[in-house]
Amino acid sequence: MREQARHADATHTNRVVGALRTAVTSCLLRRGIAACDADDAAQETMARVVRRWSLLQSLPSHELLAYSVKCAQRVHIDLRRRTRRDERLVEVLARDEVTQPSPLNIVVARQHLDHITAATSTLPKEELEVLLEVGVRGRTAQETAKVLGVPAGTVASRLRRARAHARGPLADDHYRSQSPVQMRL
As a three-state string, the secondary structure of 41-96 is HHHHHHHHHHHCHHHHCCCCHHHHHHHHHHHHHHHHHHHHHHHHHHHHHHHHHHHH
Q: How many domains does the chain have?
A: 2
**Short-list 49, 94, 87, 102, CA closest to 71:** 49
pLDDT at position 33 is 86
Residues 137-156: tens digit of each pLDDT = 788 888 888 888 999 899 88
CA 128 – CA 107 distance, rounded (Å): 25
What are the backbone dihedrals phi and psi of residue 73, each rounded to the nearest 5 degrees, phi first?
-65, -45
pLDDT at 55 over 80: yes
Contact yes or no for 21/63 (Cβ under 8 A): no
Q: Which residues neighbour 47 within 8 Å (Cβ) at sequence distance 6 or greater?
A: none
Distance in angstroms (rounded) separating the CA atoms of residues 84 and 81 = 5
pLDDT in tens, 15-38: 888 888 888 888 888 888 888 888
User: Do 112 and 172 share a domain, yes or no?
Assistant: yes
Q: Of the candidates 58, 85, 112, which is a domain's last residue?
A: 85
Per-residue pLDDT at 154: 92
Confidence of residue 173 (pLDDT cuts 50, 70, 90): very low
- Residue 117 shares a structural domain with residue 149: yes
3-state secondary structure of 33: coil
- Residue 141 placed within a domain: yes
* Residue 40 sits in the same domain as residue 75: yes
Same domain (yes/no): 17, 45: yes
CB under 8 Å to 64, separation ≥6 — which residues? 16, 20, 49, 56
Cα-flanking dihedrals φ and ψ of residue 33, to 5°? Answer: -85, 135
pLDDT surpasses 70 at 64: yes
Mean pLDDT estimate for the chain: 79
Domain endpoint, select from 52, 85, 118: 85
Give mean pLDDT, residues 153-173. 77
Same domain, 6 and 80: yes
Residue type, 49: V
Map residue 120 onto helix, strand or coil: helix
Range of the domain at 125: 102-178
Task: Evaluate if residue 185 carries a pLDDT over 80.
Answer: no
- One domain, residues 131 and 58: no
Q: How far is the C-alpha of 105 from the C-alpha of 126, rounded, in Å?
A: 32
| Residues 106-128: tens digit of each pLDDT | 777 787 777 777 777 788 888 88
Q: Is residue 183 part of a domain?
A: no
Q: Is residue 59 scored above 60 in pLDDT?
A: yes
